[in-house]
Amino acid sequence: MENIDLQLIDWSRAQFALTAIYHWLFVPLTLGITFLIAIMETIYVKTGNPEWKKITKFWMTVFGINFAIGVATGLILEFEFGTNWSNYSWFVGDIFGAPLAVEGIMAFFMESTFIAVMFFGWNKVSKKFHLISTWLVAIGSNLSALWILVANGWMQNPVGMRFNPDTARNEMINFWDVLFSPTAINKFLHTIYSSYILAAAFVIGISAYYLIKKRESVFARKSILVASIFGLVFSIMTVATGDESAREIAKTQPMKFAAMEGLYFGTANAPLVAAGMLKDCNDPEKPHIKDFAWNIEIPGVLSYMAFLDRNAFVPGIYDLVHGNEQQGIVSYFDKIERGKIARQTLEDYKLAKENGNVELAASLRAKFEDQDFIDNYFNYFGFSYFDDPHDIIPNVPLSFYTFHIMVAVGFFLIALFVVALFFAIKNTLHRYKWFLIIALISMPLAYIGSQSGWMIAEFGRQPWVIQNLMPTHTAVSNIQSGMVITTFWIFALVFTVLLIAEIKIMVNQVKKGPKIEEE
Amino acid sequence: MFEQMEFSTLQHYWFIIIALLGALLVFLLFVQGGQTLIKQLGKTDQETTMLVNTFGRKWEFTFTTLVTFGGAFFASFPLFYSTSFGGAYWVWFIILVAFVVQAVSYEYRSKSQNLLGKKGFDALLFFNGLIAPVFLGTAVATFFTGSPFHVSGMNMSYWDNSLHGLELALDVTRVETFINLSLGLAVFFLSRVLGVLYVFNTIDHDEIIKRARKSLLINSIPFLVFFLFFLISILLIDGFAINPQTQEIFMEPYKYLHNLLEMPLVTALFLLGVVLVLWGIIRAYFNTDKCATKAIWFSGLGTVLVVLNLFFIAGFNNTAFYPSFTDLQSSLTIYNASSSKYTLVAMSYVSLMVPFVLAYIWYAWKSINNKRIDQEEMDNESHVY
């Protein structure tokens, strides 16, 4: 921590981002399509109609192609916490590791065991057991998401723990607080629901391709029918959980909230920026501030979104850095000072212990149990690693754009599902080629929206790896940047080759169509 | 119920779970071993397909066990996670690359337009099958021979060698390097032995079985040589002992031999494991088809027992399970590397699900393996690798 190697930090972040982005190209489809497959197989078992078996098996093949690469990149992510973020692993292992272990025991085995039955059990097990297996794959993969998102939620809003100065780490004191933290629950629901949307858009897109090509029309219509209902239901849920998340962020991560909206100066009755473009501010007095080149505002909505009150004050970036006495906001300058006191206390304690000064050590140790010290000093521990408060501001344009792209894609997809459902019910899909083309284009859009969602979640909280407690630059392993640069490029190469193979196989499989799958 | 347990009991309990996951992982490496034998056992394209499919239906188990092994280690002994993974960076990186390509290779090898071709993906399967056992085995050997690292007062870990883990397999000036490598190679040949036994268990094809029988002998001999070399070596070397009063680490001559003598149950189970592994091999080699089919269960259970008890010898009876030879006092023990008591208690409740998980794995396994794979099945199956 003494000598910060900026190159090491940047490349470690790049490697993690690379792995996470690749991982997230495959996971949302897995989360959603497994449920769609389970629904389709249920219809098959209920009706006995072989057409539904054909539909189920085709989407299962697509799932298989996608799944393999998702688990592979997932393994890398898990181990990268250790290889590249070893200081982090120790600082939070007592909390973060637990959900990860539960995930392995409860979710991964369920998923992998029943996937084998799902793929290879058609002629080996009863129809009913096969159907149960398919449902368990869906439940297992979504349970995996639960635990890792609980861990991520904890990083955004650390709860249920206490710092132990003897071991220099955070230790869990309440498992349920960690599991049922509103941040974690919202994050989980918002993530899986939005993944269901992506899967629905994927199924609709490919089905639209068949309709454009004037083939597999029964298959395509049935698939679109199931997917658009599924997509529409979960779009509404995604909006609801997104709204809840926004309130949660306004409360626990006000800086991220302000950055999402490009809000520099707080105000009551704050407007929501529906769309806009940021530019550098030319005022030399305010070097850290960006301005809107243009924007569309909806008055009062941001205040309402954040606090359910149009007149509520929403703090801007400037208020958070410089403080706002009227609103009771402690400045970052102040927080840095308090953080430094907390860290000094820890160092004094270590020294007193080393020197055998029992009395002093005991009195310093007691501070870490004292609620007043925790609330007013230790809670700003991470700030002690900064000297300039402006270093504690995330990349505002990146946060602003990714947030707005995510929201725009979300609302666009709702419209898509409504129209798709309408045409599917009326059985007129084949007549509207323009719509089918839009549906096809919506596939990559859904991916962009989904990735943007993670980008705002992760970039928006920088420079923190654990909000207010651990800055990203103190979390890295004690290794040389050259090593990380090498592994970054090797991973980039491997992932890219696999992605190209995946896309080629997928395209080929789609072209071949569901008929080939039928025995 | 777990709340009432002593902290150290919980630390032992979690080390047992880690050891069990490690032991199951080594058994499941039969998938990897099998992947290196596909070209030897299968001469025609059809035979190869059969072999790939028999191992391909089990890759998820090995993979998931590795993930869970990692996750459980992170959760119960986070200092090991941060020290070993962040320190022996290259070792873990190579293991990761080996595993990234595995799942995809199965799924993509026989699909058209797959970019690398069937041969390319089969080569990746061989790469995974070779690297994973050798590196995992070598890494586990360092639980006995130690690694170069130190841990600061704030529990930050630093690796003391610029090769970041590779020196443990490459530094020929240290005798320990050969001990490390011998376990790596022993695990590699063991995984092949188990792979062959799994072929007896699941494939119904005379030619393949005939070749498998030959391969069994070829791989059993080097396995025994390397394993015995490793075993005798660690029983003779000085071990990393903990003074239970002061928690100080010191070198104790014949520490691991002492551990065997002082823990008779561990010794008994360890020897039983060795006997079972050998019994499975002998049974399969000298007997008829029917006996050979079940041999995997003897050698498999034997493997689990041997590895489980190796972990106990490395970490129980006041022994540092992840020792440092550059800074003795930085060595990791189940006491100084573990999570807090609260976390161990919480996770212990979750661990009660393990028998349930094992039960459904067993049930699903049986329902898929109830009939041996033959050519007919390959022709009719809709999901063929």
* Complex-level ipTM: 0.90
B251's enclosing H/E stretch is strand B249-252
> What interhelical angle do B89-108 and B59-76 show, nearest 10?
150
Residue A90 has its nearest CB partner, among B58, B79, B114, at: B79
- Give the span between the Cα atoms of B177 and B181, in whole angstroms: 6
How many other C-beta atoms are found inside a 10 Å radius of the C-beta of residue A395?
A: 14
Residue A350 with chain B: CB contacts under 8 Å: 153-154
Phi and psi of B124, rounded to 5°?
-65, -35
Residue A75 has its nearest CB partner, among B81, B96, B360, at: B96
pLDDT mean over A126-150: 92
- Give the span between the Cα atoms of A68 and A451, in whole angstroms: 20
8 Å CB contact of A509 and B111: yes
Residue B87 with chain A: CB contacts under 8 Å: 86, 477
**pLDDT score, position A3:** 57
In the predicted structure, residue A518 carries a pLDDT above the cut 60: no
Residue B71 has its nearest CB partner, among A1, A72, A103, at: A103
The share of chain A scoring above pLDDT 90, in percent, equals 59
Residue B86 with chain A: CB contacts under 8 Å: 82-87, 89, 477-479
> Which residues have C-beta within 8 Å of that of residue A346, sequence separation ≥ 6?
A165, A168, A368
Phi and psi of B241, rounded to 5°?
-100, 155
The type of residue at A514 is P
In the predicted structure, residue A349 carries a pLDDT above the cut 70: yes
CA distances (Å), B93 to each of A216, A435, B86, in order?
45, 47, 10
| DSSP designation for B313 | H
The set of long-range contacts for B175-178, using a CB threshold of 8 Å and a minimum separation of 24, is B176/B145, B176/B146, B176/B237, B176/B325, B178/B229, B178/B233
**pLDDT score, position A419:** 95
A201-217 burial: b if 16+ Cβ within 10 Å, else e: bbbbbbbbbbbeeeebe
In the predicted structure, residue A516 carries a pLDDT above the cut 80: no
- Give the span between the Cα atoms of B19 and B13, in whole angstroms: 10
Contact A339, A384 (CB under 8 A): yes
Q: A413 or B152, which is more confident?
A: A413
Question: How many angstroms away from the CA of A269 is the closest CA of chain B?
Answer: 44
What tokens appear for B265 in the block?
């149950």
Interval B85-111: pLDDT, tens: 999 999 999 999 999 999 899 989 988
In the predicted structure, residue B82 carries a pLDDT above the cut 70: yes
Residue A86 has its nearest CB partner, among B64, B85, B112, at: B85
Interval A451-487: pLDDT, tens: 999 999 999 998 999 999 899 998 999 999 999 999 9
The set of long-range contacts for B166-174, using a CB threshold of 8 Å and a minimum separation of 24, is B166/B90, B166/B91, B168/B88, B168/B91, B168/B138, B168/B139, B168/B142, B169/B91, B169/B138
Beta bridge partner(s), residue B242: B249
**pLDDT score, position A1:** 43
Closest CA to A274 of A253, A254, A301, A251: A301
> What interhelical angle do A50-83 and A86-102 show, nearest 10?
150
Interval B244-293: pLDDT, tens: 999 999 999 999 999 999 999 999 999 999 999 999 999 998 876 667 88
CA distances (Å), A175 to each of B77, B149, B201, in order?
18, 32, 44
Where residue A169 falls among pLDDT bands split at 50, 70, 90?
Answer: confident
- Give the span between the Cα atoms of A156 and A137, in whole angstroms: 29
Interval A353-410: pLDDT, tens: 888 888 898 989 898 889 999 989 999 999 999 998 888 999 999 999 999 999 999 9
Strand, helix or coil for residue A419: helix
Residue A101 with chain B: CB contacts under 8 Å: 68, 71-72, 74-76, 347, 350
Which residue segment(s) compose the domain that B309 sits in? 7-380
In the predicted structure, residue A519 carries a pLDDT above the cut 70: no
Residue B114 with chain A: CB contacts under 8 Å: 501, 504-505
How many other C-beta atoms are found inside a 10 Å radius of the C-beta of residue B175?
A: 10
- Give the span between the Cα atoms of B102 and B106, in whole angstroms: 7
> Which residue matches tokens 């490349």?
A11
CA distances (Å), A515 to each of A41, A214, A222, A469, in order?
17, 14, 15, 56
For chain A, the farthest-separated pair of C-alpha atoms sits apart, in whole angstroms, at 85
Angle at B139 between CA B137 and CA B141, to 5 degrees: 70
pLDDT mean over B211-240: 95
Where residue A71 falls among pLDDT bands split at 50, 70, 90?
Answer: confident
pLDDT mean over B220-224: 96
> Which residues have C-beta within 8 Å of that of residue B177, sequence separation ≥ 6?
B168, B169, B170, B171
8 Å CB contact of B370 and A494: no
Question: How many angstroms away from the CA of A17 is the closest CA of chain B?
Answer: 17
| Among A286-295, A317-326, B137-146, the least confident range | A286-295
What tokens appear for A90 in the block?
């120790």
**pLDDT score, position A517:** 43
Strand, helix or coil for residue A296: strand
Peptide bond into A182 cis (omega under 30): no
Where residue B344 falls among pLDDT bands split at 50, 70, 90?
Answer: very high
**pLDDT score, position B288:** 67
Where residue B174 falls among pLDDT bands split at 50, 70, 90?
Answer: very high
What is the number of domains present in chain B? 1
Which of A30, A54, A71, A80 is the best mutation test for B, with the most CBs of B within 10 A?
Answer: A71
Distance of CA A341 to the CA centre of its chain: 33
Question: How many angstroms away from the CA of A223 is the closest CA of chain B?
Answer: 21
pLDDT mean over A203-222: 92
**Mean pLDDT of the residues in chain B:** 92
What tokens appear for B105 in the block?
């290779």
The share of chain B scoring above pLDDT 70, in percent, equals 99
> Which residues have C-beta within 8 Å of that of residue B306, sequence separation ≥ 6?
B23, B270, B273, B274, B277
Residue B68 has its nearest CB partner, among A93, A108, A504, at: A108
Residue B353 has its nearest CB partner, among A89, A105, A502, at: A105
What tokens appear for A416 in the block?
């898509």
| CB proximity under 8 Å: A 120-149 to B | 120-125, 129, 133
A246-259 burial: b if 16+ Cβ within 10 Å, else e: bbbbbebbbbbbbb
pLDDT mean over A160-164: 89
Which of B59, B115, B166 is the best mutation test for A, with the most CBs of A within 10 A?
Answer: B115
Where residue A167 falls among pLDDT bands split at 50, 70, 90?
Answer: confident
Strand, helix or coil for residue B174: coil
Task: Tell me, yes or no, whether B385 lies in a domain.
Answer: no
Task: Tell me, yes or no, whether B150 lies in a domain.
Answer: yes
In the predicted structure, residue B212 carries a pLDDT above the cut 50: yes
Task: Tell me, yes or no, whether B192 lies in a domain.
Answer: yes
Distance of CA B101 to the CA centre of its chain: 19
CA dihedral of residues A218, A223, A224, A225 (deg, nearest 10): 90
Nearest-CA residue of chain B relative to A346? B154
Contact A504, A27 (CB under 8 A): no
Where residue A440 falls among pLDDT bands split at 50, 70, 90?
Answer: very high
- Give the span between the Cα atoms of A281 and A259, in whole angstroms: 16
DSSP per residue over A495-509, as a string? HHHHHHHHHHHHHHH
8 Å CB contact of A79 and B153: no
Q: How many residues does chain A have?
A: 519
Report for A80-94, A120-134, B153-167, B258-272: range of highest mean pLDDT: B258-272
